[in-house]
Structure 1
Amino acid sequence: MDATVVPPAENGFVQAAGVLDSDGTYCAHGALWRRFRPLTTEPARPEGDLQNLPGRWLWGGVLWAHFGHFLVESTSRLWALEHLDQPVDGVLFIPKRPRAGENLRGFHTGFLDMMAPGLPIRVATAPTQVEELIVPGQGFGLGLITAGTDRFRTAIHNRFAKNVAADGPERIYLSRSALGLGKGGLLGEERLEELLQAEGYEIFHPQQHDLATQIARYKAAKQMIAADGSAVHLYAMVGRPDQAVAMILRRQSRSNNLLADNVRHFCGTEPTVISALRTEWVRKSQNKSSRLSFGELDHAAIGAALARSGFISEQTRWPLLTEEERKQVFADKGLNKSDDFIESPGFVRQRVRAMRQARRTG
């Protein structure tokens, strides 16, 4: 009773924000954890008048504007909707970025409406005293918890998007080509799309459709290939064991393993993970792999992996791009490979190790 919710005052990766009990004690149970550390830490007890919020509310935690982080970290306490002894008036969040204020995006309200129809979202932008606040533990996130707790997975399977019917082709490819390289695109993805279309795949750009359309496609597909990314988190929430999933990695990242774990534990199926980059490119000013680096696809290796796994014809042989074709791909993206970009040093080291291992075993 009479909990105090304190939103972050400043932008930052780790922020002082969260829930205080009626006596001012920090409620560590309400913190957002990522891997092995909390991203929200104990805030100072606010001084002066507080905003007042009457009623009974469910603590949602940090509200992310980024689609993927919203799916994985902002939904993480909604499992409690399955276990409430009394209804709540809504779900209460704090913004990740203070300047976002109370702004809600379509996927925020769309997701919650598919989880608990008619239940509103409230965003606390100033220290707020809440008449009654239910604070569940974190059931999902990044790290080992990407597998989800039993209660979280059960709640998602029991409640989420149950009224969305399957609608779409049996084969789809979840593309990132329309997002641009600055948001984790792939060099050569347009060529990959052409090759997959020839195998009967629909090219699907999730960000161009509402949640219901995305989910309808995911439910209908018997075989889904995806460039790894946020869309796969949404698929995992509605996927089934009888569906085949292949994930094409777009860069070197620990998050790739987390995404595969997400699909494995939620869908009850083993995803085919294809690591087949010809190389990874970074701007010279970066000089390292990051979320702004981008991979260059090895079409031959991808085709071979997909054929082995039954996603395309066993007889399919996709050729590598020639050097002239590679130059044209860069030109089509308005990039100058020689002047602006270098190969990721980490990728080069990885390739050298693989060559040495091949010589030793060959």
Structure 2
Amino acid sequence: MKEKKRLYVREEKSWAQACAKKYLSESSLQVMEVPQGIMLPPDNWNSQTGEFQGGVCDKDGKFVAGLFRNKPPQAGFYGVSSAYGVKDTDLKYEDKDVIFGGVLIGHFGHFILECLGRLWYVLQQDEPYKPLVFLNELDICPWFWDFFAVLGIARERIIILKSPTQFKSIVVPEESVHSWYNYTQEYLLPYRYMVEQAQKITEKKSLGKKIFLTRNRLVDSQTKCVNEDFFCRFFANHGFVMVELETFPLAEQISIVHNAEEIVAIMGSLTHWALFCRPGTKFTMLTRTSNDVLGSQCLLNEASNVDWYIVDTAMNLFYANRAVGVCLIGPTVFWQEYVRDHYGVWQEDDRWKIAYHEYLREWTDYMLQPQKWEMVKEFEPLVLLTSLNKALHQNDVMFAKENDTESINFICADAETAYYWDESKNGLFRLNLNDGEVNICYRSLLREYPAPQYGMLAKVGSFLVLTPENAEAVLIYDLENENVKTITLPAHLPRGNYRYAVVYGNWVIMTGYCQGTIIACDPQAGEIRYLLNLSAEKLKDGCDSVTTIFGKPCLVADLLYVPVIDTNQVLELNLAQGGYKIYHVGAREAAYGFAAAYAGNVWLAPSQGGPLAVWNPPTGIMQIIDRFPAAVSFSKVEGNIRFFTDVIAVGAYLWLFPWGADKILHVNMENGNIEIAAIDEIFSKPSVSCGCIANDKLLLGIDGEIKIYKI
């Protein structure tokens, strides 16, 4: 049986590892009696580790027990795993036999997660004549007493220690949970007991089978979670009741949670309520940051046996901490995938976008506090700018809508099958040219930069290789086993990596689109090599307005010819021997963007205003071809006269696909005649994004679709 998809997250590998771990320990819990034992309130906080000293010691001051949140030698944040010295004059003595109840943390999430870990002993083997002594970190909260009341522990029996004290004896039950590592069967005893009592007290109070736990309107949270309203609206529309648990008495809170069949909450203290759920309760947990893998929540999910789902809804532009500060949440690609899987809908609600204003106001207010200034000084301006740019483009967090018509960049086809990357669906697709059936080969959840994510497709043996135009890695699709793998680029390039490619033996040669870099990729070996890296300033040849670098290349034997976009330069790279030359071909306004090879000549097509040229590199002879048919007109796109979006050479013909042109042209490279392709299509300008020839079929990417014509 196929396993349920539970993780809709960016850090899927890390989350999967944390969730796959088995947290239940079969060890038997021990009980120790410490004659003349000493208890020390937590003190001497360590700013490096976040732990305190204190806990239970023997009569000689040797540490016995505290709060182990992480394994020794360090107990971690809020942990207590070592003692401190006390002068005899500062040590009180109480002639009492007591039970060590543990360390109470004045933070609700930590309290219900780990602060009841020694009370299994009280419930299993109670000795009511013995006081329960607790240590305390942070505040002594009123709701401590609410929990003890539901547990049936009288308030007068409880002592919260305020100063170092020696007792006649201390019974120390072992902890039933180390919140990031393991738990024992006894861990759940207090929670099950509280559920039983709460059900009796409240007569099984319920607010409905489907509830959304929220603290959205409460002001005392350490983390401001901007845009929770977006999710409140969605789930309210699907029958969920919004519940602010803190507005109810504790026993009612427990019953409300226990009697629900579906629960949704922002991950944190609210998702720790899983401990009070019935096994099998569907619990969807929305994360407020992407990089925090919460191992303790994985432990709780296993212990409580809820039907859990974790969805990354973090849309933070800048620094974010799940525990404190300001976070932005919204409809990320992970959320949208979850919604499609669980509700079968596309969510048409763009009101979340106004949350950016609130987020920026709250985040800057928080970071402008004097105690945060040193942190702010460490932020890199480029990182902040990049984050803001990605957010404004909604990349990396949003799928395009189903009816969006973003372009299909390139098509790769043989006699029966065509492959293409669809930007609107963010995936690699296969089109059967015989029956028109379309199947998805691979779908990406991430869109790292402004579209397009991938550029040209190249087929090498049984591999389909996609150039990383705006991705971090080369994408390789194995046509035989239909597996996908990626090869990360050796050096990160912030935007506009590689758009064009040619096949050279077993290698795919890729040319940099926004930098003067050429690389080679071997898909079989999973290897990337740098062949050339030239400064953009040198290649621009004094043209300050040039933002893109290399156009579409071609091969003549072992020589790679690459036009430098919108200049009159062509780079020649010897792939067999190394070394390169830069040629000036034609006038400066030639603006060549595409190259194609035929019979030892290099044909050059303009990306904007200018004629075609055919150039013979060995002799330097160049001929201008500017006899465009009178019926062809060109128009301005983004303020410039644009000619072609792509060219392909098939046999003796060079096909020219229009950008600002209103006709598809092909050139007879034997005689230089330019003709209008004989297809019945009227184009709106600009129209065609790409094209491909497969036997007698012309494939065109038009308005986000592939159309097929007989030629």
The TM-score by the shorter chain falls in which range?
Answer: 0.7 to 0.9
Q: 1:285 maps to what in 2?
A: none
Q: 1:26 maps to what in 2?
A: 62
Q: 2:275 maps to what in 1?
A: 237
Question: Is the Cα contact below 8 Å between 2:195 and 2:255 reproduced in 1?
Answer: no
Q: 1:59 maps to what in 2?
A: 100
Q: 2:186 maps to what in 1?
A: 151
Question: Is the Cα contact below 8 Å between 2:326 and 2:363 reproduced in 1?
Answer: no
Q: What does the per-residue CA deviation read over 1:53-112, in whole Å, with 9 as the maximum and x for residues that have no partner? A: 343322123221111122223212112124426435332112224xx5xxx422211112
Determine which of 215, 229, 235 is the counterpart of 1:176: 215
Determine which of 145, 156, 166 is the counterpart of 1:109: 145
Q: 2:116 maps to what in 1?
A: 75
**Are the structure 2 counterparts of residues 253 and 123 from structure 1 closer, same or farther at C-alpha, using a change threshold of 3 Å?**
farther
Instruction: Say yes or no: does 1:137 pair with 2:156.
Output: no
Instruction: Say yes or no: does 1:317 pair with 2:347.
Output: yes
State the one-letter code of the partner of 2:107.
H
Per the normalisation by structure 2, the TM-score is: 0.43
CA distance in 1, matches of 2:380, 2:276: 37
What is the Cα-based RMSD across aligned positions, in Å? 3.5
Instruction: Say yes or no: does 1:256 pair with 2:291.
Output: no
CA distance in 2, matches of 1:195, 1:295: 19
Question: Is the Cα contact below 8 Å between 1:281 and 1:343 reproduced in 2?
Answer: no
* Counterpart secondary structure, 1:7: strand
CA distance in 2, matches of 1:273, 1:26: 43
CA distance in 1, matches of 2:212, 2:312: 16
**Are the structure 2 counterparts of residues 260 and 327 from structure 1 closer, same or farther at C-alpha, using a change threshold of 3 Å?**
same
Q: What does the per-residue CA deviation read over 1:251-274, in whole Å, with 9 as the maximum and x for residues that have no partner? A: 145453421331222x21341000
Which of 124-133 and 350-359 deviates more? 350-359
CA distance in 2, matches of 1:171, 1:358: 42
**Are the structure 2 counterparts of residues 270 and 319 from structure 1 closer, same or farther at C-alpha, using a change threshold of 3 Å?**
same
Q: How much does 1:246 deviate? A: 0.3
- 5 Å matches for 1:1-362? 1-12=35-46, 13-22=50-59, 24-28=60-64, 30-36=65-71, 37-38=74-75, 39-40=79-80, 41-48=82-89, 50-84=91-125, 86-97=127-138, 104-118=140-154, 120-145=157-182, 148-153=183-188, 155-165=189-199, 166=204, 167-179=206-218, 183-233=222-272, 235-252=273-290, 254=292, 256-265=294-303, 267-282=304-319, 289=321, 291-299=323-331, 301=333, 302-309=335-342, 313-321=343-351, 323=353, 325-330=354-359, 354=446, 355=448, 356=471, 360=475
Q: How much does 1:238 deviate? A: 1.5
Choose between structure 1 and 2: higher helix proportion. Answer: 1
Choose between structure 1 and 2: higher strand proportion. Answer: 2
CA distance in 1, matches of 2:286, 2:150: 29
State the one-letter code of the partner of 2:314.
L
**Are the structure 2 counterparts of residues 58 and 232 from structure 1 closer, same or farther at C-alpha, using a change threshold of 3 Å?**
farther
CA distance in 2, matches of 1:10, 1:281: 33
Q: How much does 1:2 deviate? A: 2.1
Question: Is the Cα contact below 8 Å between 1:222 and 1:244 reproduced in 2?
Answer: yes
**Are the structure 2 counterparts of residues 297 and 334 from structure 1 closer, same or farther at C-alpha, using a change threshold of 3 Å?**
closer
Unaligned runs of 5+ in 1: 283-287
State the one-letter code of the partner of 1:223.
E
Question: Is the Cα contact below 8 Å between 2:40 and 2:54 reproduced in 1?
Answer: yes
Question: Is the Cα contact below 8 Å between 1:280 and 1:294 reproduced in 2?
Answer: no
**Are the structure 2 counterparts of residues 88 and 314 from structure 1 closer, same or farther at C-alpha, using a change threshold of 3 Å?**
farther
Question: Is the Cα contact below 8 Å between 1:176 and 1:227 reproduced in 2?
Answer: no
Q: How much does 1:118 deviate? A: 2.3
Q: What does the per-residue CA deviation read over 1:7-57, in whole Å, with 9 as the maximum and x for residues that have no partner? A: 1344553222111223x14243x1211223223212214411633334332
Question: Is the Cα contact below 8 Å between 1:249 and 1:275 reproduced in 2?
Answer: yes
CA distance in 2, matches of 1:136, 1:359: 56
Structure showing greater Rg: 2
**Are the structure 2 counterparts of residues 247 and 32 from structure 1 closer, same or farther at C-alpha, using a change threshold of 3 Å?**
same
**Are the structure 2 counterparts of residues 343 and 66 from structure 1 closer, same or farther at C-alpha, using a change threshold of 3 Å?**
farther
Unaligned runs of 5+ in 2: 1-34, 369-375, 398-444, 449-470, 478-711
Identical amino acids, percent of aligned pairs: 17
State the one-letter code of the partner of 2:141.
R
Q: How much does 1:129 deviate? A: 1.6
